[in-house]
Structure 1
Amino acid sequence: MNYSENTLNRSVILTCAVTGSGNSADKTPHLPITPKQIADASIEAAKAGAAIAHIHVRDPKTGAASRDSALYREVVDRIRSSDTDVIINLTTGMGGDLYLGPGDNPLNFTDDTDCVGQIERIVHVEELLPEICSLDCGSFNCAPDNYVYVSSAEMLKVGAQRLQQLGVKPELEVFELGHIWFAKQLLKQGLLDAPPLFQICLNVPWAAQATTRNFQAMVDNIPNGANWGGFALSRFQMPMVAQSALLGGNVRVGLEDNIFLEKGVLATNAQLVDRARTILDLMGTSLQTPAEARETLQLKKQR
């Protein structure tokens, strides 16, 4: 199925991003932090209708984002040993955090900096072989003002080539039009297997705002034959569920992107999935099962 056509997608793949790496641990009691909580949240989201669980891990003691492979291993083992089927999608975005020094000393990086090469960013993927992992397709400015997310062209070429060798499908996270342009270059160079999988990320400061016009422009640049989905942060999450399906794409919700079910009401991951499912049901669409999504995305069988 070609999701690049601007028509209503009547068979939607729903992803739940269950925890993320943002500083939301102290903002909601529902955010999963420990490996058990993250695995349980992924399973609950799957039971609510999510075909894919997008997973980060956190330090169980502090709630801070982590890239500890042992934490990923426990989460993945718990999901795989459960009786619930869900496609595992692990982040590789951690390790791209560059906090520049103040004033005329930008190379005096602050202690928050955690910037490593692409191979180190995918150590847990090498070990655990999920069916999907994210690949952030470019660098961009982000809040706070001295922060830059770093994902260079060379890093992406190295990462794409290694994931291709592993048989793990990269979810190409694109935050700006230039990221799509570069991803198409990876495809042209043979570093991505067809069909590629794109995730359009909206309302991440300071990349693409969550507007219909921006969303349409990004969709128009997705290559023919690609699978794609889209999401937006915060209060734009649910409107962009409808917008993505209307444009022909798949959808993503979850506490990584938004912690509220409605104004003043904190959500769980399963509640966000259920709300998205209700919206899609009212639009006349259906949700794909994990088995159906594997076929659509042409995922390679892993462990």
Structure 2
Amino acid sequence: MNRNVILTCAVTGAGDTTGKSPNVPVTPKQIANDCIAAAKAGASVAHIHVRDPETGGISHSVDHFREVMARVREADVDIVMNITAGGGGDWIPDAADPTCGGPGTDIQTPAQRHEPVGELLPELCTLDCGSLNFGDMVYVNPADWLREHARLVQAAGVKPELECFDLGHVRFARQLQQEGLIDGDPLYQLCLGIPWGAEADPETMLVMRNKLPANAHWGAFGIGRHQMPMVAQAVLLGGHVRVGLEDNLYLKKGVLATNAQLVEKAVTLIENLGTRVMTPAETRAHLGLRDPRTGKIVEDIAGGDSFAYRKPRFVCE
């Protein structure tokens, strides 16, 4: 059981969801507003993609990321910011010539994927740890690209969240750590339920968790109807959690959700299990993240030692 849970809200993603729910944020202002609403609802971390404001489709614009970051930082709430660095990996073979990418293909080099992270220096960024049959496309991330990308993230001083969509991704993430490309205690995110990666069920989560390094921090999420069951399962197995419209559009069957509503539902579930959600300040101290105000690694939280949140007065028994 995890008594102190980091709760991430993945507010928009890059998938074709904007036509399925009017609540999916598209513009930088809308995305920032949802990050702020998630913070007020109790989220520790906001995970962001950006979209083309005109089409709602994929965007890699540094300017869009910059606007989201600025709006959130200027708000009267605190939340840890986690920028995706996994964009530009979509490969869809052309029907006439499968040696070429067809419509919908979106490939970036590691340096291009890293550009928003390197310029804006969020506390966290994602690092997707392998290639995958991702629905009807292939997500492309060869081993040498991953090593190059890990070096760029390491040089920037940003902590990577090692996203693992299958058991082999956990294996390669451990290899990155062994090669000295991951600093400090690694942070893993087990991504469950995406066709055709690891399934969203307790057995799969347990197997993946048991393959993590002894010093790993870890969280997990499930997509669609698996979102809240995987929240409960991750907490019970000692992990952190993620919810949000990137992964699931519904509050319950037939009822479209907002990001804030999904966060509120997760907070209630976590607290009903007898645990609690970490504040953003506690999250920075726990993971050894940079304070966005000072640029320095957080070692203490205000008014006490860095592990003050573990004291019994915070725990519901």
Name the TM-score class by shorter chain: over 0.9
Residue of structure 2 aligned with 1:160, choices 150, 175, 179: 150
- Identity among equivalent positions (%) equals 52
**Moved runs in structure 1, 4+ residues, more than 4 A?**
none
Report the equivalent of 2:101: 109
Contact kept? 1:18, 1:256, Cα under 8 Å = yes
Report the equivalent of 2:256: 266
Residue of structure 2 aligned with 1:20, choices 4, 13, 29: 13
Rounded Cα–Cα distance in structure 2 between residues aligned with 1:114 and 1:198: 25
Q: Within 5 A, what are the aligned runs for 1:158-237? A: 158-237=148-227
1:135 CA displacement: 0.4
Report the equivalent of 1:66: 59
Rounded Cα–Cα distance in structure 1 between residues aligned with 2:19 and 2:274: 37
TM-score (norm 2): 0.91
1:80 paired with 2:73, answer yes
Rounded Cα–Cα distance in structure 2 between residues aligned with 1:23 and 1:265: 19
Residue of structure 1 aligned with 2:245, choices 255, 261, 265: 255
Unaligned runs of 5+ in 1: 1-7
1:289 paired with 2:279, answer yes
1:123 paired with 2:115, answer yes
Report the equivalent of 1:137: 129
Q: Which letter maps to 1:135?
A: L
Residue 90 of structure 2 aligns to a residue whose secondary structure is strand
TM-score (norm 1): 0.95
Q: Which letter maps to 1:240?
A: M
1:114 CA displacement: 1.1
Contact kept? 1:194, 1:226, Cα under 8 Å = no
Rounded Cα–Cα distance in structure 1 between residues aligned with 2:100 and 2:213: 40
Residue 82 of structure 1 aligns to a residue whose secondary structure is coil
Rounded Cα–Cα distance in structure 2 between residues aligned with 1:86 and 1:131: 10
Unaligned runs of 5+ in 2: 296-317
The CA RMSD over aligned residues, in Å, is 1.0
Residue 220 of structure 2 aligns to a residue whose secondary structure is strand
Report the equivalent of 2:289: 299
Contact kept? 2:11, 2:246, Cα under 8 Å = yes
Residue 122 of structure 1 aligns to a residue whose secondary structure is helix
